[in-house]
Amino acid sequence: MKKRLIIISILAGLIILIGCAPQEKDKDVKSKPRSVNVAMVESHRLPIVVNSVGRLAPNHEVVLSSQVSGIVQAYRVDTGDAVTANKMLVLLDPTDYQLALNEAMANLHSARARYAAAKNSFLRAGELLPEKVITTEAYEKIEAEYKTSQAAVSQAEAAVDINQRRLDKTAIKAPFDGFVINRMVEKGQNINVGEPVMAIADMQSMRVKIHVNEQDYVYLDKDDAVTVLVEAYPNASFFGTIDRIGVKADPNTNTFEVEILVANSNLLFKAGLTATVNITIDEIKDAIMIPQSSVLFRQNRQEVFVVAGGDKAVVREVKLGRADGSLVRIVKGLIPGDKLVTTGSQYLKDGDSVEVTGSR
C-alpha cells in the first residue's frame, strides 16, 4: 500500500511540474520587450495644395463656315491632318463665280471706254465754251455725261472687286497653323452661306477649365504657376499658369471657373485628355508629418506610440490634419524630437517594454 501511495504521489508531482512549466514559459514571453522601429519626429515645410480635375482643350479653336453658297468640289485635308496658314481646305465649284467675275470685268472695260470718250468731250467743251462755239446748256450736258461715266467706272470697279472676293471665297483656307478637329462636309454637297465646313485648332498651347471653391478662390491670381498632371503621362508633370479667373460663382456648385494655360510645343497633348491641376495656395513652415501607417484608430480616437525613457511605449492621442500622399499632418499630440513608433505599434499597449531594432 505504501509503495502504491509513493507511486501516486510521484505521478501527481510530475503532473504538477508539467502543468507549471508552460506557464513559466508564457510569463517569460510576455515579459520580453517587443521589437519596434522608430523615427525621430521633425517639422517640415508643407505646401497647401488645391487640386481640381478638368479636360485639355485647344487654346485657340475656330469653326470655319462658308461665306458663299455652292457645291463642294473637293476637300484637301481631313480630320486629324496638320495644316499651315492659308492652306487650301475646301474648294467649292467656282464656275458660276468665275463667269460673274468675267462679266463684271467686261462691264468695267466698257465703262472705262465710255469714260475716256466722255472725258475727251468734256475737255474739248471746256475749250469751246469761252469762244461761245457751244452754249452753256450744251456744256453742262457734256459735263453731266462725263460725271455719269466717271461714276459708272467706280461702280464697275466695285462690281469686279465684289465678284473677285466671291470667287476667292470658294477656296476656304486655314486661318492659322493647326490641326483639323472635324471635317463637316462631303464632296458634291450643296452648302449655303454660313454652313460650317471644318473646325481648326491651334494645338501649340492647351487650356484646362477647372472649378475652385470660394474658400480657395481668394488665394488665386492671374499668371500664378500651377502643376498639371495628365493621366496619359503618369510619370510626368507639366508647368501651367492661371490665365482666367471667373468673377461669378456657379449657383449650383458655389465654385468659380478657372482657366489654365499649358504649353504644348511638342504636341504631346490631345484634346479631351483628363488633367489634374495642382495649385499651391499657402505653405505651413513647421508642419509635423508622419506616415499614415503609424496612426492607430481605436474607439473614435487617433493614437500613436512613442518611445519614452529609452524602452517604454507611451500612447499619445493625436489630431490629424491634411494628408499628403503616404504622410499625414499631426496638428496636435506630437512635437519635434519625439521618437515615433513606425512599425510594430499595432501590438503595443501603453507602458509596454520595447526594444528599438531600427530607427531613422
Q: Which residue has the cell 510530475?
A: 14
CB count within 10 Å of CB 186 equals 9
Identify the helix (H) or strand (E) that includes residue 358: strand 354-359
Average confidence (pLDDT) over 135-153: 93
Angle, to 10 degrees, between the axis of helix 136-168 and the axis of helix 95-128?
A: 160
Going from N- to C-terminal start, the domains of the chain cover 33-44+285-359, 51-58+202-284, 94-169
**Percent of the chain at pLDDT exceeding 70:** 91
pLDDT in tens, 320-339: 988 888 899 999 999 999 99
CATH class of 33-44+285-359: mainly beta
Q: Rounded to the nearest 5°, which phi and psi values hold at 82?
A: -80, 145
CA atoms of 327 and 324, how far apart (whole Å): 5
Dig out the grid coordinates for 28 from the structure.
517569460
CATH class of 51-58+202-284: mainly beta
174 contacts 87 by C-beta, under 8 angstroms = yes
58 contacts 270 by C-beta, under 8 angstroms = no
Report the SS3 class of residue 271.
coil
Q: How confident is the model at residue 250 (pLDDT cuts 50, 70, 90)?
A: very high
| Mean pLDDT of the chain, nearest integer | 89
Q: How confident is the model at residue 162 (pLDDT cuts 50, 70, 90)?
A: very high
pLDDT in tens, 79-103: 999 999 999 999 999 999 999 999 9
Q: How confident is the model at residue 14 (pLDDT cuts 50, 70, 90)?
A: very low
55 contacts 275 by C-beta, under 8 angstroms = yes
Report the SS3 class of residue 154.
helix
Q: Which residue has the cell 485657340?
A: 60
Question: Any idea which of 50-59, 133-142, 190-199 has the lowest mean pLDDT?
Answer: 133-142
Q: How confident is the model at residue 8 (pLDDT cuts 50, 70, 90)?
A: very low
Judging by beta carbons within 10 Å of its beta carbon (0-12, 13-18, 19+), is residue 76 exposed, middle or buried? Answer: middle
pLDDT in tens, 63-73: 999 999 999 99
CATH architecture for the domain at 94-169 = Orthogonal Bundle (1.10)
pTM: 0.65
